[in-house]
Structure 1
């Protein structure tokens, strides 16, 4: 079986469309279509179902991708670096949420040397869980940090750490809310108070309300900004309530810039996962970064 055909097939499988695969491979779309048809003729089975927007793999297509992708990734790594370790370290392409990646992941990676005593070259992209997993599957990234565990066999996820969430507000808001009353009354005491969040759907506030108060928030966000560091700044400025990771809020809590409104017996948690394309932990650069982050994650709380 022609390895070039397999490489094109795996790229289409990850990209979900002939057009996007063609761009990734530097080929024309007709060339990609022709190669897939050739491979399908050789196998005597369809590998993709053509749809109005992209393609969907058949069962045979998924099985072939699961078997072939790890080996192709390893071959690409050998071709790119040679049989011996290069004197210039391979660049690791990392993707994840901006705050967690900036505050925890990058310090753990950037301050450590690789197995040859060389600094690891990094290229970092930020995005939502959906965006980073899609980019990883399409081959844009080597390693992704996600709050969503991916489905299917092409991506492999390992729990990295749990993140505790805390409900905070500026002192002037906290002075109006009795912790004891909040423990007795619950969410109704907070109805109508302004909220700062990362998305209009209020994902963190809703998760907290559901876990702690067994209810859903009734208000809407006064400020919506897609970065938890900005959410913290707004909360400290007195804009409204916010739900934040404790590690991120800890310095502001210690300074008194914000106050924890409630300390439930069991705090809401969110799990982060380290995600790779299945089989790519055989690539030394990916494996080293994966191992460093797992060891660092064991110390995070």
Structure 2
């Protein structure tokens, strides 16, 4: 790509979720940012963003371009600053994430950085309180299951990775399902099986039933436990069925301890976002975010 300014503008739009936010960060007018985006779309041969009530939404082409060029442009910017390489590996970074994702993905990706003097301080919670802490300058980076609302204007978010969700149960539960009935009326075919839920409102399960079956689950709830790893344990023990991220359920699916009870032509996904405060990042935070972006390219959909 000949014009790096176009790529830099694209990344600002991608990470901030709006042309207005990108224009403010770059010190440009919104028409100038729009014009640069049009030029880049002509170069790449496709649409990079669509407009919606939630802001500027990246297309699949934008996701792919950001994953290809983001770490390289960030590295180039960092190389041109006065900070030496060691300063990026010293200090403290305060991270927020769901406990399950931090355990399965973030800690394996980041703990080697502590060998160079970086201190990692994790806060494990749901997305809304973590984003509030980030906005209050009590965290440096959050992996969030929701995009920050427009009211949190001081936060910059970029789509990070997609979680795939699977409906799972024990082999005993799977044998109790009439497969013919499941194809015709899945809600009714599954209604006899109790649920193991992450929260009383059934957020993950309810979203799956609504997106896949068009209805709320009528099932009895057997267990509520606010940790998806504990949900997994309860489902393996045949306490009921549940909906889990594939990255958590995959080992049990491979071993035969769990079975996938329903398959969709288009797997249900939820996008996770990397969220920081707007503006230049401290070297340790910048280095850590670059590491996370780089590692995510090997994960695919989770």
TM-score clears 0.5: yes
Residue of structure 1 equivalent to 2:289: 290
**Equivalent of 2:131, from 118, 130, 133?**
133
**What is the TM-score normalised by the length of structure 2?**
0.68
Residue of structure 2 equivalent to 1:223: 223
**Cα distance in 2 between the residues matched to 1:218 and 1:230:** 23
Tell which deviates more after alignment, 231-240 or 203-212: 203-212
Unmatched 5+ residue regions in structure 2? Answer: 1-20, 26-81
Q: CA deviation at 1:90?
A: 0.6
Q: CA deviation at 1:221?
A: 2.2
Against the structure 1 CA distance between its residues 292 and 218, is the aligned structure 2 distance closer, same or farther, given a 3 Å change threshold? same
Residue of structure 2 equivalent to 1:190: 190
Q: 3-state DSSP class of the match of 1:145?
A: strand
**Cα distance in 1 between the residues matched to 2:284 and 2:203:** 34
* 2:239 matches 1:232: no
Residue of structure 1 equivalent to 2:100: 99
CA contact (8 A) 1:195 1:223 kept: yes
Q: CA deviation at 1:151?
A: 2.1
Residue of structure 2 equivalent to 1:150: 148
Against the structure 1 CA distance between its residues 88 and 167, is the aligned structure 2 distance closer, same or farther, given a 3 Å change threshold? closer
**What is the TM-score normalised by the length of structure 1?**
0.68
Task: Note the alpha carbon deviations across 1:19-69, whole angstroms, 9 max, x for none.
Answer: xxxxxxxxxxxxxxxxxxxxxxxxxxxxxxxxxxxxxxxxxxxx9xx99xx
**Cα distance in 1 between the residues matched to 2:89 and 2:210:** 50
**Cα distance in 1 between the residues matched to 2:230 and 2:104:** 14
Equivalenced residues, count: 219
Q: 3-state DSSP class of the match of 2:226?
A: coil
Q: CA deviation at 1:109?
A: 1.1
**Cα distance in 2 between the residues matched to 1:132 and 1:98:** 12
Q: CA deviation at 1:140?
A: 1.1
Against the structure 1 CA distance between its residues 229 and 88, is the aligned structure 2 distance closer, same or farther, given a 3 Å change threshold? closer
Q: CA deviation at 1:185?
A: 1.7
**Cα distance in 1 between the residues matched to 2:200 and 2:88:** 48
Q: 3-state DSSP class of the match of 1:266?
A: coil
Against the structure 1 CA distance between its residues 172 and 286, is the aligned structure 2 distance closer, same or farther, given a 3 Å change threshold? same
Q: CA deviation at 1:183?
A: 2.1
Tell which structure's C-alpha radius of gyration is larger: 1
Residue of structure 2 equivalent to 1:16: none
Q: CA deviation at 1:280?
A: 4.0
Against the structure 1 CA distance between its residues 249 and 88, is the aligned structure 2 distance closer, same or farther, given a 3 Å change threshold? closer
CA contact (8 A) 2:88 2:283 kept: no
Q: CA deviation at 1:243?
A: 0.3
Unmatched 5+ residue regions in structure 1? Answer: 1-62, 68-81
**Cα distance in 2 between the residues matched to 1:146 and 1:154:** 15
Task: Note the alpha carbon deviations across 1:172-209, whole angstroms, 9 max, x for none.
Answer: 11111134431222211112420001101111111111
**Cα distance in 1 between the residues matched to 2:210 and 2:83:** 53
Q: 3-state DSSP class of the match of 2:133?
A: helix
**Cα distance in 1 between the residues matched to 2:259 and 2:117:** 40
Tell which deviates more after alignment, 167-176 or 218-227: 218-227
Q: CA deviation at 1:253?
A: 0.6
CA contact (8 A) 2:89 2:284 kept: no
**Cα distance in 2 between the residues matched to 1:298 and 1:142:** 22
